[in-house]
Amino acid sequence: MFYHLLKHVLLGPLLRLLFRPRIEGLENIPPEGAAIVAGNHLSFSDHFLMPAILTRRITFLAKAEYFTGPGLKGRLTAAFFRSAGQIPVDRSGKDAGQAALREGLGVLSRGELLGIYPEGTRSHDGRLYKGKVGVAAMALGAGVPVVPCAMLGTFEIQPPGQKLPKIRRVTIRFGAPLEFSRYAGMEGERAVLRAVTDEIMYAILGLSGQEYVDRYAAEVKAEEEEKRKKARRSSR
């Protein structure tokens, strides 16, 4: 109930008023039945802008840290994310991938929309990074189409580290659904998962026009953070 209040009465109308999102390809979202919406991830604002413009409810897998903050602020943040249709997933353990897969397949088994950011984390520089194969495992395991999505302008309104977004117009673009029935029963084959994931990422790239980096975003972030640490140590 609170999800609908948040979307249709409180947050949704406010987001549409402030950011006046241009919506392209909304007809590519299936009116019913399970499907995955796979998008680029440029900003914290992505979590709320896409659900605000969709007529159907969409559930995203979100990192568990959003739900475990201390004190009143932490409890309010957790309640907000849950009401916005987010499911916490622990990404720290060795079974993190399987936990996300179970949660995602559970959403799809109920005939719902599942939102996924295949890069696994926000882009720190506005580029599009290599996708993780979990999106392919879910698509093949559930036998559902994947709708590619591009968020444009959200990096500029709220890049990583910026607490409040700038008020500026954004664009949300949906592409034609991708079908992978030709790979039915092959979700256990790594090469197939990689091929399906790459096809999804190239579809997102075609919609977003970003520069593509054939490496995982988390790896690049870690390397750059290590360089910054070394630079700080050497400057002392």
Read off the pLDDT of residues 190-229 as tens digits, 9 standing for 90 and up.
Answer: 999 999 999 999 999 999 999 999 999 999 999 988 888 8
Domain boundaries defined on the chain? 2-234
Q: Please give the model's pTM, rounded to 2 decimal places.
A: 0.87
DSSP readout, 108-166? HHTT-EEEE-TTSS--SSS-EEPPPTHHHHHHHHHT--EEEEEEESHHHHS-TT-SS--
Closest to 38 (Cα-Cα) out of 160, 154, 143, 139: 139
Q: Which tokens in the block code for residue 162?
A: 């910026």
Averaged pLDDT of the chain: 87
Q: CA 47 to CA 69: how far, in whole Å?
A: 18
Share of the chain above pLDDT 90, in %: 54
pLDDT tens by residue, 170-179: 999 999 999 9
Q: CA 120 to CA 117: how far, in whole Å?
A: 6
The one-letter amino acid at 95: D
- CB under 8 Å to 150, separation ≥6 — which residues? 39, 40, 171, 172, 173, 175, 204, 207, 208, 209
In this structure, which topology does domain 2-234 adopt according to CATH? Glycerol-3-phosphate (1)-acyltransferase (3.40.1130)
pLDDT value, residue 112: 96
pLDDT, average across residues 53-81 = 76
pLDDT tens by residue, 71-88: 766 676 677 677 666 777
Q: CA 62 to CA 90: how far, in whole Å?
A: 9
